[in-house]
Structure 1
Amino acid sequence: MVITPILRLVFSLLSLVDTSEFFEVKNKIVREVIDFVKGHRSLFDHVLREDISEADELVMEQINLVVGILSKVWPYEESDECGFVQGLFGLMHALFSRDWESVSSARSVQSVENKRKSELNSFRLCFSLSSYLYFLVTKKSLRLQISDVPPDYNAAVRLQHPTLSLLGSFLTSVTTALERATEEKSLLLNKIRDINEVSRQEVDEIINMFARQVCMSSSDNIQKRRYIAMVEMCQVVGIRDQLVTLLLPLVEHVLNVFLIHFQDRSLVSDANGSLKAITYGAKSEPGQDISSLCGNLIPTLERLELLSEDKVGHNLKVFRRLVTSLKEMTIQRLGS
């Protein structure tokens, strides 16, 4: 299909643009891409409306490309006459509220390799969405409610922003995925290191678990079997490392969104001095209890603090500083 290659080309062109030039929209490539998006509004709108739960590999790639393009150029478009912002927020609701464990179980009929690729593509989409949300919060002063409020049927239709409670739940899911990926990566690296000590039975189990296709016969000796097992494990380690590399900045985006909200004066107190609500704009919405949000957030932050730099394979100095800062502020808010 010609659509996917064109979207790949447009997305690749944006990688050539310096971040500072996005903000001013002074780069010719950025202007051309915005015009391209407006000129193909129906295509972008159609892709944004695709059912993620039913999307095959091709459709998922198209969704990733469309969201990746919009997350880079659309924050700078002042008007949203095309309705893409609501489409992006709709995807946030669908993905951030997803039960990732049940999704993994539902795909049990898929091969292990396809499961890993599917998980990677889904979180790649989450990363683009979190980047877009992070920009709106930091550059456009968007402030989120703690939780959903009853709809006002007399009011005009408003954008359904994600809530902080939704982000908190999503952060827990991402943390679980990050822990699982780092543990599997570390375990496989240890097996690769000790491959010459692994018994034939365990080698065969590894091959049966990870091999993408049958590539040995019963007559193959232990050296060849160990080599095949090592190659297959290296493939998996590469995919898991891709996921870890993706999840770390995704978590940072979410942590920063929380940090900005907790630092903002829109976090207000009631008459008793108890922190109750986060406002959007100038309008306060009393009755939203932040203590529940903070109480749910702290265990997740404590899990993030325990991530091992050796297992993750990345420098976590800045990451840990961010986690610690948010945890301290969350505890302060909880005790206020």
Structure 2
Amino acid sequence: MIKVLVVDDSPVVREFLVHILSSDPVITVIGTADDGEEALDIVRRQRPDVITMDIHMPKMNGLDATRLIMETDPTPIVIVSGTEDPTEVATTFNAMDAGALAVLRRPAGIGHPDHEAMAQDMIQTVKLMSEVKVIRRWPRKRPAAPTPRTGNMGLARASARIRVVAIGASTGGPPALETILAALSKDFPVPILIVQHMAPGFIKGFARWLATSTGMPVHVATHGESLLPGHVYVAPDDHQMKVEREGKIALTKNDPEHGLRPSISYLFRAVAAVYGADAVVGLLTGMGRDGASELRLLKEHGAVTFAQDRDSSVVHGMPGEAIKLDAAMLVLPLEKIAAVLTNLVNHRGEIRA
């Protein structure tokens, strides 16, 4: 049985979430809490396997509760939000920075046409998160921008001219992407394309949070938009994102891949076709295998490819699949990715330690 603690300040919402979770035979709700202080007490006493966490609560909000739980009694936490307002949603990503694993939109009410699908998505997410081995999180300082240093890492491509960076991420991706972008210089000389798997309704808030927390210009991509150096483009909800030879973004309603739209695989194929060896492309933490085969395709086209290492990944599914396929030229801890990107774009493709 998967033991779940439901935390929300609304009695109606608590009852609703308990009803959904209890409908699955392998999930048992061991308790509920209406604020962060009560949640901390229950976590210490009952040791749940997963926590669903509201953000806006009295006494202690969900952000502070998440931070304290991850510092004292690490437990998989899923943020369940009832708002899609980008300004408010952006605050929920601070909880992911503190160690929460995923953010979900609260399922629509019983009788709504989307209720069943959203409820099943929540159940599936809770089940998946229960398998993640979380570790204690210590308050972290923002990394300083990397300073390129001499010393070759064993891969030199002096003839290459890097023109784009593309990154795919899933579970655990938001704080990983924040770590990377915050460590890049604000005059980073090429555009960065991102596909982040995320529940519908949160991408705008995610982009706003990334822009605020990293200082980089971060956009939700629009159709026909021209790529600019140093700008970050995040694939929007329910669209596939690709690049065209004119250096423009194209959004399509093409079929989902690996059950996903946007799909990392879809973007990576376009980057291989348009940029080939002039790209740096990587897979970060996340479940599944989206993008793994396409990362191998990029490697075959001469691109520099990388995968996040197991120790720094929340879930090593996607990068692990890429490594198995020998698709990643480099396997990197999270804290070194920004330095490698900086050296690649500033040293004509030469990777330095």
TM-score range, shorter chain: under 0.3
Which protein is richer in strand relative to its size? 2
Question: Greater RCO between the two (CA within 8 Å, min separation 6)?
Answer: 1
- For normalisation by structure 1, the TM-score amounts to 0.26
Give the structure with higher Rg (CA): 1
- For normalisation by structure 2, the TM-score amounts to 0.25
